[in-house]
């Protein structure tokens, strides 16, 4: 990757807005054809599949400070009275699921995201875990993960989380360069980060993920390489190397980021490709898009075995699990439909109180075509290839016939070196791994419709 020589014109051609495909259809393309009343019925239906795996996502929106690059649904506060109220409403959402019998499903994936879940003090963390464990039983190999901010996470919290069964720790770093940190209001030392990882491992966490971001103000190849090398010394099992998602029309605080100090497209590509080369030299495996893992990590094993999955929480090894969403703005998938809770904190709390724990405001029931295209897109995103013979058998007609338009649209990408296509199938090249989203979007019929109406770009960040 680091030796790729890519003309600026080609980088500009493919540095366009496109979804990250943690779902298909993406949330902006939902038809909103599933209601809150139907959600309650869907949860009851999901409870009848007692032996099937279930995933749980809990969104904790609170942060003490706002990072300027942030694109998450967060609530900035130092008012610690908000915590007990929020946890109580989460417990009511749990009761909604429990009353419909969903607790019979084994939890294979359990993730707390944010915001900053460790904004909650120890007593509320334990209270919430106790409520979850009163409803659900974890599977023996369950992945129980939490996102933490090293600046606010204490040793006591890490020890407690380990005792409660959390086994995967994810923490944001973004960049260790003080100038970059100051520019995005995320000042966090290497020593703080090291402390959380060391205490986390001693507390029982068997896997650590570090998030980095390229495309931030004042970043250079040399400066970011220093961050990468420091990250490697911490030896996390997983690394996410995200491109900064600049969406100021959605997140107004991003307008304060100095765009004149942001690296241009050639510099961003050089930063990314040098980081990929460094992680590869250190023994990390490229999982897909912007994720890396050590060879013996479950993600690497799943990638090699062809069983890697992707859902709202990112890359996963837990196949086929429906996802229960808890908390403000949380998105899930239950009974063949996507569902989203109210995205406004206080409105979410009112809905929970008034509707016995049901805070869903919209949903999308997947059609057969949705499911087919989702499977195609996820195979590109997870495995970097499509086997045309396998897919032709699966859909009952030749791929060249069923997806003639899409394959025709892929020809320019093949000419530019993003994909290799022949009668057997499609395979991403090294450059195609960088622009994986550009390949996947060809199979997105909703994107086609938006492009035809002139609104394709606005909802999404650029690919580079």
**Would you say residue 345 lies in a domain?**
no
Question: Do 372 and 278 belong to one domain?
Answer: no
- Rounded-to-integer distance, Cα 171 and Cα 125, Å: 17
CA distances in angstroms from 412 to 155, 177, 416, listed in the order given:
53, 39, 6
Q: How confident is the model at residue 460 (pLDDT cuts 50, 70, 90)?
A: confident
Q: How confident is the model at residue 289 (pLDDT cuts 50, 70, 90)?
A: confident
pLDDT at 189: 96
pLDDT in tens, 221-275: 999 999 999 999 999 999 999 999 888 888 899 899 999 999 999 999 999 999 9
- Rounded-to-integer distance, Cα 421 and Cα 432, Å: 12
Q: CB of 54 within 8 A of CB of 324?
A: yes
**Would you say residue 355 lies in a domain?**
no
Average pLDDT over residues 313-342: 90
Say which CATH number the domain at 375 has.
1.10.10.920
Question: Do 183 and 294 belong to one domain?
Answer: yes
Q: Rounded to an integer, what is the distance from CA 209 to the centroid of its chain?
A: 12
Question: Do 377 and 288 belong to one domain?
Answer: no
Instruction: Work out the mean pLDDT of the chain and round it to a whole number.
Output: 93
**Would you say residue 167 lies in a domain?**
yes
Question: Do 319 and 373 belong to one domain?
Answer: no
CA distances in angstroms from 340 to 105, 245, 315, 350, 359, listed in the order given:
21, 22, 20, 15, 8
Question: Do 181 and 280 belong to one domain?
Answer: yes
Q: Is the dihedral of CA 296, 298, 299, 301 positive or negative?
A: positive
pLDDT in tens, 25-66: 999 999 999 999 999 999 999 999 988 999 999 999 999 999
Least confident of 1-15, 138-152, 220-234: 1-15
3-class DSSP assignment, residue 448 = helix
- Rounded-to-integer distance, Cα 251 and Cα 203, Å: 36
Which residue has better confidence, 464 or 371? Answer: 371
Q: How confident is the model at residue 4 (pLDDT cuts 50, 70, 90)?
A: confident
pLDDT at 98: 97
**Would you say residue 202 lies in a domain?**
yes
Question: Do 322 and 371 belong to one domain?
Answer: no
Question: Do 33 and 104 belong to one domain?
Answer: yes
pLDDT in tens, 356-372: 999 999 999 999 999 99
**Would you say residue 458 lies in a domain?**
no
Residues, the chain, total?
464
3-class DSSP assignment, residue 195 = helix
- Rounded-to-integer distance, Cα 286 and Cα 292, Å: 5
**Would you say residue 362 lies in a domain?**
no
Question: Do 383 and 321 belong to one domain?
Answer: no
Last residue of one domain, picked from the residues 326, 356, 381: 326
Report how many domains make up the chain. Answer: 2
The range of the structural domain enclosing residue 261 comes to 8-326
pLDDT in tens, 365-410: 999 999 999 999 999 999 999 999 999 999 999 999 999 999 999 9
Question: Do 134 and 45 belong to one domain?
Answer: yes
Last residue of one domain, picked from the residues 273, 296, 326: 326
Residue 73 predicted with pLDDT over 80? yes
Q: CB of 299 within 8 A of CB of 313?
A: no
pLDDT at 455: 66
Last residue of one domain, picked from the residues 294, 326, 358: 326
Question: Do 301 and 436 belong to one domain?
Answer: no
- Rounded-to-integer distance, Cα 385 and Cα 402, Å: 17
Say which CATH number the domain at 215 has.
3.30.750.200
Least confident of 267-271, 282-286, 448-452: 448-452
3-class DSSP assignment, residue 52 = coil
**Would you say residue 361 lies in a domain?**
no
Question: Do 197 and 92 belong to one domain?
Answer: yes
Question: Do 375 and 448 belong to one domain?
Answer: yes
Torsion of the alpha carbons at 295, 144, 65 and 358, rounded to the nearest 10 = 140
pLDDT in tens, 207-224: 999 999 999 999 999 999
Q: CB of 285 within 8 A of CB of 294?
A: yes
**Would you say residue 215 lies in a domain?**
yes
């Amino acid at each position: 990757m680091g030796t790729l020589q890519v003309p600026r014109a080609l980088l500009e051609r493919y540095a366009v807005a496109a979804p990250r495909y943690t779902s298909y259809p993406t949330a902006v393309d939902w038809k909103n054809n599933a209601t809150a009343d139907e959600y309650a019925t869907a949860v009851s239906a999901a409870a009848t599949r007692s032996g099937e795996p279930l995933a749980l996502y809990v969104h904790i929106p609170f942060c003490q400070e706002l990072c300027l690059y942030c694109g998450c649904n967060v609530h900035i506060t130092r008012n610690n009275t908000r915590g007990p109220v929020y946890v109580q409403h989460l417990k009511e959402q749990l009761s909604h699921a429990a009353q419909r019998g969903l607790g019979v499903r084994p939890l294979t994936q359990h993730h707390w995201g944010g915001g900053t879940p460790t904004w909650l003090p120890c007593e509320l963390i334990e209270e919430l875990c106790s409520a979850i464990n009163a409803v659900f039983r974890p599977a023996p190999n369950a992945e129980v993960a939490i996102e933490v901010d090293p600046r606010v996470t204490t040793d006591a919290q890490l020890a407690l989380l380990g005792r409660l069964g959390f086994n995967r720790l994810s923490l944001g770093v973004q960049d260790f360069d003080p100038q970059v940190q100051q520019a995005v209001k995320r000042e966090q030392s290497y020593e703080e980060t090291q402390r959380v990882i060391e205490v986390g491992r001693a507390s029982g966490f068997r896997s650590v993920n570090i998030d980095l971001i390229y495309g931030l103000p004042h970043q250079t190849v040399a400066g970011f390489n220093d961050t990468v090398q420091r990250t490697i010394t911490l030896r996390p099992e997983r690394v996410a190397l995200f491109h900064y998602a600049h969406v100021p029309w959605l997140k107004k605080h991003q307008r304060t980021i100095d765009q004149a100090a942001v690296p241009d497209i050639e510099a961003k590509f050089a930063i990314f490709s040098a980081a990929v080369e460094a992680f590869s030299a250190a023994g990390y495996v490229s999982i897909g898009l912007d994720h890396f893992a050590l060879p013996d990590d479950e993600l690497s094993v799943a990638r090699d075995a062809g069983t890697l999955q992707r859902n709202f929480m990112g890359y996963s090894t837990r196949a086929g699990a429906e996802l229960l969403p808890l908390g403000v703005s949380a998105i899930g998938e239950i009974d063949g439909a996507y569902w989203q809770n109210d995205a406004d904190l206080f409105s979410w709390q009112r809905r929970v109180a008034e509707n016995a724990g049901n805070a869903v405001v919209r949903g999308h029931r997947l059609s057969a075509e949705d499911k087919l295209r989702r499977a195609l897109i996820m195979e590109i995103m997870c495995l970097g290839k499509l086997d045309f013979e396998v897919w032709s058998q699966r859909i009952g007609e030749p791929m060249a016939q069923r997806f003639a338009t899409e394959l025709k649209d892929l020809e320019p990408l093949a000419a530019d070196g993003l994909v290799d296509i022949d009668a057997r199938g499609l395979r991403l090249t090294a450059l195609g791994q960088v622009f994986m989203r550009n390949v996947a979007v060809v199979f997105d019929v909703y994107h086609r419709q938006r492009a035809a109406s002139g609104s394709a770009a606005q909802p999404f960040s650029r690919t580079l």
